[in-house]
Amino acid sequence: MIPQHTESLLSETSHYAAAYRNRLILIKCSGKVLDDAAARASVIGDILHLKSLGIDIILIHGGQTAITQALEAARAKHPGVTNTAIDGRRATDETNIGIIAKTLASVNKSLVDDFRREALRAGSGAAVSGIPGSAVFKSTPPSARTSEGLINYEGGVNISANLGLLRAAMARKRLVILSPLGLNAQDENMILNQNADDVIAPLMQLKPVKLILVSDKDGVHDADNRTISQLSRQQAESLMQSGVIAGGMRVKVAAMIDLLQRNGALSSVSIVNGLVPGAIRQEVLTASGAPKATKLASRHFLRIDTLLMELSKELTR
């Protein structure tokens, strides 16, 4: 006999699995999470599980740690190589773009290999495609030259996306692993380095139902430093106005609100701590979500969550 709490959990997850089947979930994962062996294994296992339920997934990855290491190694031989960051954005110019592009390609291939290896081990049969962002995104550098007078290879202004390649992969039910590189819209021979957060907005054309931002940090905290699991737009705006949500988190939450307002198909945006085992799976398949995570949801989705939570309670009685 199945224990009541187990039966309730299975019923709850089945409801969410059915709701998301054949729908797209975008997951943006920090390089700091993917650099942690246990967290990387958890992310891969969770995503493959969601894929086995018929959910479409695009994983956008960064590679900050790997890029920093590669640039430092290059600087040891060639001191003129730039390796600086301003407000979390890496200065990119002719001295380092080749290294950055090569490193992100290596990170992408390594992830694809690990996903395929685990899919084979688990017998999931998931097909995985690694796609360079340069095959999808185009943008314009914010300026022709950096502050040091070098050619600017940083993208991020007016990013557009050619979604044909992604739609074709999704039509074949492939799991997509996407890097944040792009091409210069004014010179397609010029590869640009883009912040992974910046390429999310143009992907909204694919009408994802959910966006999950995975990092090595907890979600939004209240004034007592407790993680807020469910956050409405009104609550978020009040906390930002009072200064409880500040700094980098304020920027992130403001972007989340903007994405929800502009994209009707998007039901929720979540900030998830990827160092918590099983966090992505729990965030997608349970009403309570992942521990230490914050979900900012549309009003409609919050009502659905409430109904599912009530249904789960009924099943345990």
Q: Any idea what the CATH number is for the domain that residue 39 is in?
A: 3.40.1160.10
Q: Does 256 fall in a domain?
A: yes
31 token code pair:
């390089």
Query: What per-residue confidence (pLDDT) applies to 312?
Result: 47
Distance CA 76, CA 72 (A): 6
The residue segments making up the domain with residue 294 are: 1-23+221-317
b/e per residue 209-240 (b: at least 16 CB within 10 A): bbbbbbbebbbbbeeeeeebbbbebeebeebb
Pair 136, 184 in one domain: yes
Whether the pLDDT of residue 240 is over 50: the answer is yes
Q: Between the CA of residue 12 and those of 97, 231, 280, what are the distances in Å?
A: 47, 21, 16
Q: How does pLDDT run across 73-118, given as a tens digit for each residue?
A: 999 999 999 998 776 678 899 999 999 999 999 999 999 999 999 9
Last residue of a domain, one of 166, 181, 208: 208
Pair 147, 60 in one domain: yes
Whether the pLDDT of residue 8 is over 50: the answer is no
Pair 155, 50 in one domain: yes
Pair 100, 182 in one domain: yes
Pair 150, 254 in one domain: no
Query: What per-residue confidence (pLDDT) applies to 315?
Result: 44
Stretch (H or E) spanning 296: strand 294-297
Q: Between the CA of residue 26 and those of 17, 119, 143, what are the distances in Å?
A: 15, 20, 30
Q: Does 214 fall in a domain?
A: no
Q: How many domains does the chain have?
A: 2
Pair 183, 65 in one domain: yes
Q: Does 216 fall in a domain?
A: no
Pair 94, 148 in one domain: yes
Query: What per-residue confidence (pLDDT) applies to 52?
Result: 94
By the 10 Å C-beta count (0-12 exposed, 13-18 middle, 19+ buried), 53 is classed as middle
Pair 65, 195 in one domain: yes
- Which residue in 223, 220, 217 sits closest to 279, CA to CA? 217
- Binning pLDDT at 50, 70 and 90, where does residue 120 land? very high
Pair 279, 317 in one domain: yes
Pair 19, 46 in one domain: no
| β-bridge pairing 137-140 and 175-178 | unpaired
Pair 182, 286 in one domain: no
Contact, 145 vs 151, CB < 8 A? yes
Query: What per-residue confidence (pLDDT) applies to 173?
Result: 94
Pair 172, 232 in one domain: no
Q: Between the CA of residue 243 and those of 223, 236, 237, 238, 240, what are the distances in Å?
A: 9, 11, 10, 9, 5
Distance CA 197, CA 19 (A): 26
Contact, 199 vs 159, CB < 8 A? yes
Q: What is the mean pLDDT of residues 123-133?
A: 92
Query: What per-residue confidence (pLDDT) applies to 208?
Result: 96
Last residue of a domain, one of 208, 236, 258: 208
Q: Does 179 fall in a domain?
A: yes
Q: What is the mean pLDDT of residues 230-255?
A: 90
